Chain A
Amino acid sequence: MSALKKILLRSLLGFPLGVAIGATIQLVIVVLMRGKPFDESYSKLNYYISAYLATGFLGAAGAGLSVVYEIEKWSILKKLAVHASLLLIILLSIALLIGWLEISIIQIAVFIGIFVAIYVIIFIAMWMYYKKQIDVINKEI
């Protein structure tokens, strides 16, 4: 299967997955906030449409971009860095567009900080996992 076909197929599957994850998060927030989570400036219909599209596109982007993990010759760092950068650009654009984030340097910086921190933790965890495997193998040789 060509890379483009793979990206398209995964994006198609990622869209409903993104919507499902988004709806679950929203449900949790609604329950926690006892039914009052919505910004008054949105009419309910507009809110649902934009949230549906945003979570769907995010799911599609995340799933589609996962093909970078199959590029065999790339190191763990390169795969994570490319996936993180592309996803961050898409996520940030959507978040600003539909108002999840305000256009404020502090908000955007905190957002990017948390996002990058998650990827750094994933990188360290993966690096340590493989380092341990390699040490075990080297001891047995």
Chain B
Amino acid sequence: MNVNVNVDKKNEEEHVDFYVREVSSNLQKIIDNITNLEAEGILGYQGSDIAVIKIDEIAVIYVEKRKVFCRTCDNDIYAIKERLYEFEELFSDSGFLRVSSSSIINGNMIKKLMMDITGSISVMLTNGITEFVSRRNVTRIKEFIGHGGKKK
């Protein structure tokens, strides 16, 4: 595939055009990345509605029945197209932490960690929701908090 980049300082509205025979899954990923870059957010789907969710408004990204969902600070739930590992790769620098094989939390929203009598560990976020934490990821949270947390 030929790639052309035209740099023109007079260009008033920056944009990207693709001339392709079909939109492959790889191309879709590139499009998603560009869209995310532009909006500093991800696209969330609620039925037929599509919304741009700003990254710092995301509380938890989790997998349920093989689908990926995003829960916002206001406890709204959206389906998203990114896979869990893709989201982790894209936004780990924004303070997002993997806490189990099925969820990623916004590290900047950690309120406290809790453990019940059976030894099950969870994290409470500032919006009041709790999320299960697997034992091996406790160290990850410790490192995040130890390094001043709130990476920006």
Q: Which residues of A approach B to under 8 Å, CB–CB?
A: 72-73, 75-78, 123, 126-127, 130-131, 133-134, 136-138, 140-141
Contacts and interface: CB of A to CB of B under 8 A. Distances in A.
A138 B142 CA distance: 9
B130 interface: no
A137 B119 contact: no
B132 A127 contact: no
Contact of A78 (B101, B118, B149): B118
B43 interface: no
A134 to B, nearest CB: 4
30 contacts: A72-B100, A72-B101, A72-B134, A73-B132, A75-B116, A75-B119, A75-B120, A76-B118, A76-B119, A76-B120, A78-B118, A123-B119, A127-B115, A127-B119, A130-B115, A130-B119, A130-B135, A131-B115, A133-B139, A133-B142, A134-B113, A134-B115, A134-B121, A136-B142, A137-B113, A137-B141, A137-B142, A138-B113, A140-B145, A141-B149
